[in-house]
Structure 1
Amino acid sequence: MVPGLEVKFAGGAPILSDGHVIEGYASLFGLTDQGGDAVMRGAFAASLAKLSAKGDKVRMLWQHDPAKPIGVWDEIREDEKGLWVKGRLLPDVIQAREAAALIQAGAIDGLSIGYRTIRAERDQKGRRALAEVELWEVSLVTFPMLPEAKVGRKEAEDLREMADLFAIAADALRND
């Protein structure tokens, strides 16, 4: 059984009632991404505080597509390393099940942020140091702008188990 994943049966077919937890760094402070931007420590603080005060959340999307939410971010925080996120892929969403299978297979592990720049400075080489951003969403992506931004590897075994449960559910549905 996958920890944190409850399986119920209805009409002989398993129904997954909770999402699978994923976590990792969506952004790492001071590293320059492929677009020439580097996020500075504290850049997310005001945005996260504003969202919290409004009772709103950062969205979890598939490949930055606003029409494809695939889960929820339950925890987002800055630490000494970067922007750490923890959330759940929702098994009732087809794309979330596909994302879980792709993560489990090692085909995808990127995280990427969607934001609006509030304050930034350019250096002599044209790179931007992002001092403050308005964070909108964190996506699971194939190719993150910051290659080091990834889903945590420690979840790989749990994702393998989740993929096995999805396969069992699919077989049960085909045999009904």
Structure 2
Amino acid sequence: MTIKISQDGIFSGYASIFGKIDQGGDVVMRGAFEKSINTRGASKIRMLFQHDPKEPIGVWHSIRETDVGLKVTGQLSENVARGRELISLVREGGIDGLSIGFRTIRASAKSRAVSRRLFEIDLWEISIVTFPMLDVARISAPKLAQNIKQATKLLTSTQ
């Protein structure tokens, strides 16, 4: 799968996929980002490297919920050393993970047997990371969303 990133560092991907359990046992539900996106807008949600507030690396142009998850389009800054490095690393396939930084507003209780469902979250930042908590949260090739959607339909129809 070829990852697309433009010469000037513009890329797209999914920072979260609805209904998928992450490594921390959380499941983001559809609509969880709506209020936060409407309040902040893409320009007030930071793009960081590895969730480090000392490492802003670019800006988000678009953040929106789709039927699959949280679709993002952003631009890495060529005026920041780490941004230039990441443009090369993304292009070469060395890094492609996305991860969300947030505060929980409304969620179900978490137990050993049941995952915590996140119904509303306050989205602060989205980071490019080496290892995302949600494995399918990635800078993506254009067809990734459709592949995820089709796989989800197959899994739910066989259960």
Name the TM-score class by shorter chain.
0.7 to 0.9
Report the residue type matching 2:51 in the other structure: H
Is the contact between residue 106 and residue 120 of structure 2 (CA under 8 Å) also seen in structure 1?
yes
The one of 34, 37, 44 equivalent to 1:57 is 44
Is the contact between residue 43 and residue 59 of structure 2 (CA under 8 Å) also seen in structure 1?
no
Q: How does 1:7-18 map to 2 (within 5 A)?
A: none
Q: How does 1:1-176 map to 2 (within 5 A)?
A: 5=7, 19-52=8-41, 56-122=43-109, 125-154=113-142
* Stretches of structure 1 lacking an aligned partner (at least 5 in a row): 6-18, 155-176
Displaced runs of 4+ in structure 1, greater than 3 A?
Answer: none
CA distance in 1, matches of 2:75, 2:117: 31
CA distance in 2, matches of 1:58, 1:21: 16
**Number of aligned pairs?**
137
Q: Percent identity?
A: 51
CA distance in 1, matches of 2:79, 2:110: 46
Shift of 1:57: 1.6
* Stretches of structure 2 lacking an aligned partner (at least 5 in a row): 143-159
Is the contact between residue 43 and residue 60 of structure 2 (CA under 8 Å) also seen in structure 1?
no
**TM-score, normalised by the number of residues in structure 1:** 0.73
Secondary structure of the corresponding residue to residue 16 of structure 2: strand
Shift of 1:4: 6.5
> Cα gap change, 1:56/1:110 in structure 2, threshold over 3 Å: closer, same or farther?
closer
Quote the RMSD (CA, aligned, Å): 1.7
CA distance in 1, matches of 2:26, 2:47: 22
Shift of 1:126: 3.8
Is the contact between residue 36 and residue 123 of structure 2 (CA under 8 Å) also seen in structure 1?
yes
Asked which structure has the greater CA Rg, the reply is 1
Shift of 1:56: 5.0
Shift of 1:153: 2.4
CA distance in 2, matches of 1:34, 1:132: 19
Shift of 1:20: 1.5
